[in-house]
């Protein structure tokens, strides 16, 4: 799961990933290339960008909803996997081809992409604070126990 810093970096650069070619080029080192369902072309068509790390070489992230999927199998259908895990993704539910978008459509989508990103960052920060509170409570409880 991506950290807030990674999410921020992706959000800031993925505005360039509206273009299918840019997404497909990110899959230069993708392991599934032939005789399978999740080729670079199909991954890009389903909105994914390849964002591998040292420990997770097959992580792909949707440029729009920022969902991360890994553990791909050759028979996985990228579009189906994406819609199973993120059915409300604004890219998947878009009615037009990207080449037909008006400037107003594009800004509406960018506003939606920003909302998705901010929600993810808020959820991560809330989880971080919850963990901090839990640790503080444990620490205070054990300090109290030593006093009694």
Q: How many CA atoms lie within 13 A of 123 on its CB side?
A: 10
7 or 89: whose CB is closer to Zn ion?
89
Residues that bind Zn ion (CB under 5 A): 62, 64-65, 86, 89
Q: How far is the CB of 79 from Zn ion (least distance, A)?
A: 10
In the bound complex, what is the minimum distance in angstroms from residue 48's beta carbon to Zn ion? 8
The smaller minimum CB distance to Zn ion, of residues 38 and 65, is found at: 65
| Tokens 């070619």, located at residue | 21
Nearer to Zn ion, 36 or 94 (CB): 94
For the chain, report the end-to-end CA distance as a whole number of angstroms.
Answer: 41
Q: How far is the CB of 72 from Zn ion (least distance, A)?
A: 16
The secondary structure element, H or E, covering residue 9 is helix 4-13
Give dist(CA 81, CA 139) in Å, integer.
42
């Amino acid at each position: 799961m991506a950290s807030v810093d990674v999410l921020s970096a992706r959000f800031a650069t993925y505005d360039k990933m509206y273009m299918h070619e840019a997404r497909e080029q990110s899959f230069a080192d993708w392991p599934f290339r032939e005789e399978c369902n999740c080729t670079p072309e199909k991954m890009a068509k389903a909105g994914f960008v390849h964002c591998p790390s040292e420990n997770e070489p097959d992580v792909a992230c949707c440029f729009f909803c920022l969902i991360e999927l890994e553990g791909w199998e050759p028979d996985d259908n990228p579009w189906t996997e994406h819609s199973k895990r993120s059915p409300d993704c604004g890219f998947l539910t878009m009615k037009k081809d990207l080449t037909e978008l008006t400037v107003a459509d594009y800004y509406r989508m960018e506003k939606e992409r920003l909302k998705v990103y901010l929600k993810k960052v808020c959820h991560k920060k809330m989880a971080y604070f919850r963990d901090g509170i839990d640790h503080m409570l444990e620490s205070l409880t054990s300090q109290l126990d030593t006093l009694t």
